[in-house]
Structure 1
């Protein structure tokens, strides 16, 4: 270190110049560009003590980064240098900043049962949006927000635009279907040797058509029943699969999303258990009538 008053070479730890007696201020010491550090296998410098500490805070310099200044005999790790004296304080600040950042990114949301869920991180809530568990009109909240907001009114709305199709939305349409007793309909189908099951299939197809009438792939209940009879039940395999897919694609004003039982209903119908597929699909319709109003 050099005294600015007389130019004499002095030790770093002295408070007064032994040559002229000038007081060596810490601020003066920290303003001298005398430090080097290794970056990408190359010497980088010179920098002041404060700049080196700033690099450490930013992560550009780590505990294992080699540093040097004159008259040090050799390069040493940052953790063994005089610069490391404030390292614990810096690490504490980093941890606090990380915790604060993570806390700010935690989200809460109102599920289909009108219950609060969370906290979940942003990647999780984005995944829920992509899976359509959360819709445009689902209430969400995170630290810093004054009140609960619809997803569509938050920064999360960017994920809605790319993952939800407007043509399948039923947000503004009232649900005009009635709940039906699965147990009663199943009993009547068994007692009538399947004859009542045809009416049940027609009733389900009619409710599905009512909910999905804005979709180009929807079919009238009469056509579903006719094709099922003409194909000796083969068409019902396709119908169960498509009906479940269409219902799952709908979005309601409260954010409710129907379960996707397309695979299980199709497989059951394929093995001759269409009556069980009717039970599952009717349960989905009953849930829509209950939760999507």
Structure 2
């Protein structure tokens, strides 16, 4: 600060000039008052500007809110749309004793085409008193009888077919096939007895005892020992059988052993060759003798398969020695696999 009179620099808070003695209090007060007034004016102007901006911006915010509210979907409209779709999915069906669904008619039709369900599947929808078969409802069930090809095994263990469903019904009525006759049709995973299929209601449970060919029956066996009859056995996956044997800690091997004895006897019956023991006896003696009888069975099975002869020149090699040695070394499952491989070859090539 300088003295207004002589221009000398004044010390801080000086009330009189040290050179000229002029007082400086009044001028400082005036300056401070002017500064305070100027600051107050600036503050008031800022407040006024903020209030004006608030007043001008408020209508804009209200308009934005109104636009957002208009764009939000109406809950009432959403509810009505759901109600339009729900009534189409009203069908349920039974699978493994459990209700599956709901499904639309289109989905049920797709299940029919993929054979997930069929005409005998139990279905239900709201309004029905109880579960009914699908073929009794308004859902169209395609007629599969024209595409079905049925086969059956007669008393001589020969495979017959193919037949249509109508022909099978005729055979049932003529008492040529019975409830305990093994049958198969396209789409089935394995052979079943007739009484376990959809033809069970038409089948007669009684059937004559199987009559196997005698060794002197020259009508079906020629002098070479070959047979014109077809051998009916099914191929079995060797890898899957081995896996199931290990997974079940050997329990499945007894069922596999039963199937091997059954199929070997079936082959021998057709050609009037000596058979191995009955399947149940083979399993029982193997268990009772702690596996010793199984060693003898594998040797005998190799001999029984090697004796078979076929018109097309196919033959099974004699694996009896290796099938005898493997169980002695604790590798009986290999003997089972060799037997099964021979049976698979018979099923695949013998009837060609």
Name the TM tier (shorter chain).
0.3 to 0.5
Question: TM-score, length-normalised on structure 2?
Answer: 0.35
Higher RCO by CA contacts (8 Å cutoff, separation 6 or greater): 1
Task: Provide the TM-score with structure 1 as the length reference.
Answer: 0.42
Q: Greater Rg, structure 1 or structure 2?
A: 2
